[in-house]
Amino acid sequence: MLLAEAIQQCTDLCALVGIWVARPQLRSARQIIGPKPVEEPKNYINIKNTIASWLLTVDHKRIGLLYVITGLFFFVVGGLEAIVILDAQSREGSVVEDLYNLLERLTPVARRLGCVPELVGIEGILRDGAGYQRQRAAVAAAGGDLAAAVRAMTVR
């Protein structure tokens, strides 16, 4: 018992100091090195994340993403530009008002060219509208003749 107590005290002292008394168990190389690093699965987003790889890709999934992103970008830009329509003098105004102003400026040119009735017809379309029902009625009244329907729509 004296021997067992001496061995126990020696083991406690060595453990306290950090010295191994007993021979450590044999470990495999995997236990020494550590677990195998887990690689993130490769997909179409993380293969190469450079601008050149995205712009020069032939991957249909990347091309689809670029198409959607580009479409959304230009949708937003077009919407922002459509909020305010400015004329040449940087005044806000509706498109119909701009067309009336354009017709007034074109009247002298139309007189010289002899096409004032057509210009008056276009003004009538702006005033009355060129709705679907009006177009159908003009075609029905003209008996299906397209030229007569156009004349009925433009000349009043």
pLDDT in tens, 21-59: 555 566 665 566 666 777 777 766 666 777 878 888 888
pLDDT value for 64:
94
Provide the residue range defining the domain that includes 119.
95-154
User: Per 3-state DSSP, what percentage of the chain is helix, strand, and coil (rounded to 5)?
Assistant: 65, 0, 35
Query: Which residues in 3-22 are b (16+ Cβ under 10 Å) and which e?
Result: eeeeeeeeeeeeeeeeeeee
Residue at 65 is within a domain = yes
pLDDT digits (tens, 9 = 90+) for 119-150: 887 887 777 766 777 778 888 888 888 888 88
Tell me: do 149 and 122 sit in the same domain: yes
Kindly give the interhelix angle for 132-141 and 146-154, rounded to the nearest 10 degrees.
Answer: 120
Rounded CA-CA distance 92/85 in Å is 6
Tell me: do 99 and 147 sit in the same domain: yes
Rounded CA-CA distance 69/130 in Å is 36
pLDDT value for 5:
77
| The model's pTM | 0.33
Choose the weakest-confidence range: 34-38, 79-83, 84-88: 84-88
Tell me: do 67 and 108 sit in the same domain: no
pLDDT value for 147:
83
pLDDT digits (tens, 9 = 90+) for 92-109: 666 677 788 888 888 898
pLDDT value for 82:
73
Tell me: do 139 and 99 sit in the same domain: yes
Instruction: Count the domains in the chain.
Output: 2
Rounded CA-CA distance 114/117 in Å is 8
- 50-59: list long-range contacts, CB under 8 Å, 24+ apart: none
Residue at 145 is within a domain = yes
Q: Which amino acid is at 24?
A: P
Residue at 32 is within a domain = no
Residue at 135 is within a domain = yes
Q: Among 29, 54, 83, identify where a domain stops.
A: 83
pLDDT value for 115:
85
